[in-house]
Chain A
Amino acid sequence: MSRTKQSDRYIWREWRFWMLALPGFALAAFLVIPLLVLILRGITQQFLAYLSDPTLLSAVALSLVTSTLSTFLALAAGTPLAYVLGRVSFPGKSWLELPLDIPVVLPPLIVGIALLLTFGRNGLLGRPLDLLGIRLPFTTAAVVLAATFIAAPLYLRTARIGFAMVPQELREEAIVEGANEWQVFRHVMLPLSWRALLGGLILCWTRALGEFGATIVFAGNMVGRTQTMPLAIFIGFETNLSIALALSVILVAVSVLVLIGLKLVDRAYSTTVG
């Protein structure tokens, strides 16, 4: 016991420690320093003035609304699907899950092109929709769909793993004691997997908030209708770097707040339960 402690205390004298630690420090610094630079450059005297710019405000509002809608779609449609995929196993299931994971690794630009070719005026689904008078490209609905395509698979994946982590025996016991599937979900599965679900939702929401590539291709760029924060940042980069920086600071701040919120929830949970 005391031996381990001893070696722990003097671990920094060991060259192997530095071999592992130095690249780690370098990576951490690499990840943190550019964000600090962004924040320091972004918070200028005009920062508050930019915050009252109507174009910028409408981009912020549109981003918050559309990413929340996308997250809601992911929650409503993704939870049952994740539940089934997380609980049921059948041959070839992992092959079925593969296409649901592809959007996570796909470049968003490609997603935008695929959506445009599918839901565009002459697209496979766009043509029948057009006959019904529904045209999706260049609408706010297109922004929501693009963000949902990109972000919902993150929730789906996290929720699926969360459900799958609940021990099979607990579920079986509940069924033996006469619980139906809804009761199992409500009283066994949900209490044991809600942290995974919440984490998935937050990942989904922040990813939707940052969506750019699929949005610009499928939904276009129109102030108040389809110009989200990332689009406004891109345009700012071509015209006024300070506006782009101010918006970037807001996005970074939102992401940091969300992560802090997640940590607090996590801590409150572990103090009440464990």
Chain B
Amino acid sequence: MRLLDRRARWFALFLSLSLVFLAACNPVTPAPATEVEAPAASSTLTAFAPAALGDTVTQLAAGFEAKAGDVKVLLEIGHTPTQRTQIEQGATPDVIFTAGKTDIEALAQQNLIAADQVKPLARNQLIVVLPPGNPAQIATVEDLVKPGVRLLVAQPELPIGMATEKLLDNLSAKVAPDFKEKALANVVSRELGVKPIVTKIGLGEADAGVVFISDATAAPGLATLMLPDDANVTVAFMVAPLAAAANPEKAKAFVEYALSDEGQALLQAQGFLAPAP
């Protein structure tokens, strides 16, 4: 009898451990942030955002929390294409901010987002950041293709990388036909995002890097080179609540806050442009 008791207790322990193991394997909860259950789950919002929006979306979240009072925003900062894959594989944030339209439109097409809820948040353009001391003496766009200049751009599959490719095409059309070819020959690395480019330029590891204007605003220590208006590329940043949002009211309220005058002022202070009318 005594033995049975002990056996039963051990079995219960083993069973509960197995359940924990199985729960951990459950593919419905891949994103770490969604696993974190705050004491009052209904007042917690999870938002996915790209690194290009990182500083600004933190301010937006703080502003919204102050205004709404009883809500806590959990942010997941990552790459837009990765976050799209995560949502397609079952991650359930309440709100998603994206760089570019491609990924959010793909999510809307799969009905993971209501198509009429996808809103343009802001626009961003490209700029060249220069390291301290500007060792390659870059003063004009043409200087970027001087032989030996060490250029950092983003991996072309990322929204920033796509925009950079388009920029080089535009510069080939406007400045010199071989501009793109020469520029790509100067590229020393295709970084996996804007922030690594800003950091490595800040360390002086390369001579110039192509990032969003808002990234340059966030790194006031770096000198910049403006790109010609007729060649620059505009990237739309989008926002939407998810169809499966656990708290649809709060999710909508957060999106509305980001689009309000107060939210837009925060975005524009970081170098973003108002969304296309």
Contacts and interface: CB of A to CB of B under 8 A. Distances in A.
Contact of A15 (B7, B196, B204): B7
Interface in A211-242: 216-217, 219-223, 226, 234-235, 237-239, 241
B189 A138 contact: yes
A195 B152 CA distance: 45
A234 B206 CA distance: 23
Interface stretch (A22-30, A39-47, A94-102): A22-30
Interface in B179-208: 187-192, 196, 200, 203-206
B203 A30 contact: no
Interface in A9-51: 15, 19, 22-23, 26, 30
Contacts of A239: 81, 157
Nearest to A217: B196
Interface string A81-117: 0000000000000000000000000000000000011
Contact of A238 (B10, B158, B191): B158
Q: Most B CB atoms within 10 A — which of A22, A117, A120, A121? A: A121
Interface centre among A15, A19, A26, A238 (most CB of B within 10 A): A238
Contacts of A220: 152, 188-191, 200
Nearest to B7: A15
Contacts of A121: 203-205
B14 A22 contact: yes
B189 A222 contact: yes
Interface in B1-26: 7, 10, 14, 17-18, 21
B14 A221 contact: no
Nearest to A126: B205
Contacts of B14: 19, 22-23
Contacts of B150: 138
Interface in A111-162: 116-117, 120-122, 137-138
B21 A221 contact: no
Q: How large is the interface on A (under 10, 10 to 19, 20 to 34, 35 or more residues)?
A: 20 to 34
Contacts, number: 67
B190 A238 contact: no
Contacts of A217: 196
Contacts of A234: 192
A226 B189 contact: yes
Nearest to A216: B192
Most buried by A among B10, B81, B192: B192
A58 to B, nearest CB: 14
Contacts of B85: 237-238, 241
B21 A26 contact: yes
A262 to B, nearest CB: 31
A116 B204 CA distance: 11
Interface of A: 15, 19, 22-23, 26, 30, 116-117, 120-122, 137-138, 216-217, 219-223, 226, 234-235, 237-239, 241
27 contacts: A15-B7, A26-B21, A30-B21, A116-B200, A121-B204, A122-B204, A138-B188, A138-B189, A138-B206, A216-B192, A216-B196, A219-B189, A220-B152, A220-B190, A220-B200, A221-B191, A222-B187, A222-B189, A223-B190, A235-B157, A235-B192, A237-B82, A237-B85, A238-B82, A238-B85, A238-B158, A239-B157
